[in-house]
Structure 1
Amino acid sequence: MGKIFSDFDFSGFWKPSDYALKEYVGAPITDEAVAAVERALGYKLPASYVEFMGYQNGGIPFRTNHRTNERTTWAADHIAISGLYSVGGEKACSLLGEFGSQFWIEEWGYPPIGIYFADCPSAGHDMVCLDYRACGPAGEPQIVHVDQEWDYHIVRVAENFESFIRGLEDDSAFVLTS
């Protein structure tokens, strides 16, 4: 496939489920699908995102938590995601789908700072975004968590998509306190 994730263990990354197949997992990506998403959203997808989705186009990972240096409504030290959006528009949870990036901006009022690519367990009250503010529409976006419950407060999560994926951890890495 590509070289960015050539050393990555995909065998234990995706959680197989009928729900993931129905809502997230899109058809194998093509150059045409990538170009259509980029045209529709006005941003160049990071090479790491395109390569990663080339292995499986969207889904629900086993490891769904990522550390943060700042508190969010989810936890003091991390965020959680529900799934990663596929490239395309045929699934509800795809970049151009029913609950795609534009939906969150137009219907929920999320700031138009990039591409919303991962949802969270809050059912829309927080999202994860490829943030293009510092790099421009063709640059390498950083990954941010946007919290609707805190007036769309933005917390930096990772330097880029590759770092985000490599930084995902399972629930056992975190001590949940009440």
Structure 2
Amino acid sequence: MLPDLTSPFEVGPSLWTGPPLTEDMVRRAEETLGVRLPRSYVELMYRQNGGVLKNTCYPTSFRTSWAADHFGLDVIMGIGYEDGIDAQSAELISEWDYPNVGVVLGVTPMAGPDTVMLEYSKSGPDGEPAVVYVGEDRIPRRVADSFGEFMDGLVSSEVFEDEDEDQ
């Protein structure tokens, strides 16, 4: 079988890749989290249930805990397993004192002091969440109006390599 070159994930399973997704897993995750997960996220998880991203940087117009103009996101968590968003989000919000505005989406290179979340404070639990970056100051900053827009905005870390060496 040939690798899916359109996938945002690195080829092959990782510790962050869950079992094949089922409707029941999605239903249970949404019940646990108390929100409707974005359809674009769920559709991606049906293709591969979480994993390590190929493009790991997201450009910003503000300074982050990571850099002057971007942040990194190494992993997007899947659904319905030990390291999935439904099992990890509430625990991570509590452990790292993130604002309780939604669901922790993945793992940054710093693995804790900052994060990326699906943010439901404006849309409500049944609406389309925005995507926010939460830095060490714990202020959620909107970076995309939807999960799909967020995924489309991810770029290769090579875009920022020269800049990071100067900091």
Structure 1 unmatched ranges of 5 or more: 1-7
User: Secondary structure of the residue that 1:145 maps to in structure 2?
Assistant: strand
CA drift of 1:71 comes to 1.1
Q: Where do residues 94-173 of structure 1 align in structure 2 (5 Å cutoff)?
A: 94-97=84-87, 100-147=88-135, 149-150=136-137, 152-173=138-159
Give the residue type in structure 2 aligned to 1:59: G
**1:55 counterpart = 2:47:** yes
Shift of 1:9: 5.0
Partner of 2:76: 84
SS of 1:28 mapped into structure 2: coil
Distance 1:36 1:69 in 2: 36
Instruction: Supply the AA of the counterpart residue of 1:162.
Output: G
Q: How many residues align?
A: 161
Residue 105 of structure 1, CA deviation: 1.7
Deviation at 1:108, TM superposition (A): 2.0
- TM-superposition CA deviations, 1:153-175 (whole Å, max 9, x none): 22211111001111110112123
2-structure distance, mates of 1:134, 1:153: 15
Aligned-pair CA distance for 1:67: 1.0
1:42 and 2:34 equivalent? yes
d(CA) in 1 for partners of 2:156 and 2:40? 21
- Does the CA contact (< 8 Å) of 2:14 and 2:52 recur in 1? no
Q: Give the whole-Å Cα distance in 1 for the aligned partners of 2:93 and 2:17.
A: 22
Q: Are the equivalent residues in 2 in contact too, given 1:25–1:91 (CA < 8 A)? A: no
Per-residue CA deviations over 1:116-156 (Å, capped at 9, x if unaligned) read: 01111112111100000111000001100111x22x02221
TM-score for both structures, normalised by structure 2: 0.90
Instruction: Output the CA distance in 2 between the equivalents of 1:16 and 1:125.
Output: 28
What is the CA-CA distance between 1:54 and the residue it aligns to? 1.0
Query: Are 2:33 and 1:10 aligned?
Result: no
- Could you tell me which amino acid in structure 2 is paired with residue 163 of structure 1? E
> What is the rounded CA distance, in whole Å, between the counterparts of 1:9 and 1:75 in structure 2?
29
Post-superposition offset of 1:91: 3.1
**Deviation at residue 27 of structure 1 after TM alignment:** 0.9
* Structure 1 stretch displaced more, 70-79 or 36-45: 70-79
Q: Identity, % of aligned pairs?
A: 37
